[in-house]
């Protein structure tokens, strides 16, 4: 059994690798939600949440308007949901 599968079974959260687009940035990272309901509703549950912020782990941040800037990397980022234009799942190697 893979480490990811073991973590999924033993933790109380679902995780998903996503691309998040805002006016200024493209962010790729992992988002999490409590294991309540169905996993395939993870992203819609996040976007429809009453919370104002979402935690994004192991992420990269790329400037949309200044493409020549270096891609920034963060272990943890707090993002205001009001700034999200698009959020979609991506593969681990995307």
Residue range 41-87, pLDDT digits in tens = 778 878 888 889 999 999 999 999 888 899 999 999 999 999 999 99
Q: Can you give the pLDDT at residue 20?
A: 96
The position carrying tokens 């959020």 is 87
pTM of the entire predicted model: 0.78
Cα 73 to its chain centre, rounded Å, is 13
Category of 58 on φ-ψ map: left (φ > 0), alpha (ψ -120 to 50) or beta: left
Distance CA 32, CA 12 (A): 10
Distances (CA, A) of 30 to 5, 38, 73, 86: 15, 17, 13, 15
Q: Strand 53-63 and strand 25-34: pairing?
A: antiparallel
State the CATH class of domain 3-89. mainly beta
Give the model's confidence band at 10: pLDDT under 50 very low, under 70 low, under 90 confident, else very high: low
Distance CA 22, CA 5 (A): 31
């Amino acid at each position: 059994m893979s480490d990811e599968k073991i973590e999924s079974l033993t933790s109380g959260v679902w995780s998903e690798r996503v691309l998040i687009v805002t006016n200024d940035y493209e962010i790729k990272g992992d988002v999490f939600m409590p294991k309540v309901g169905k996993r395939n509703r993870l992203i819609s549950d996040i976007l429809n949440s009453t919370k104002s912020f979402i935690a994004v782990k192991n992420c990269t941040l790329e400037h949309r308007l200044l493409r020549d800037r270096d891609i920034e990397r963060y272990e943890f980022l707090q993002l205001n949901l009001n700034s999200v234009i698009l959020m979609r799942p991506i593969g681990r190697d995307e």
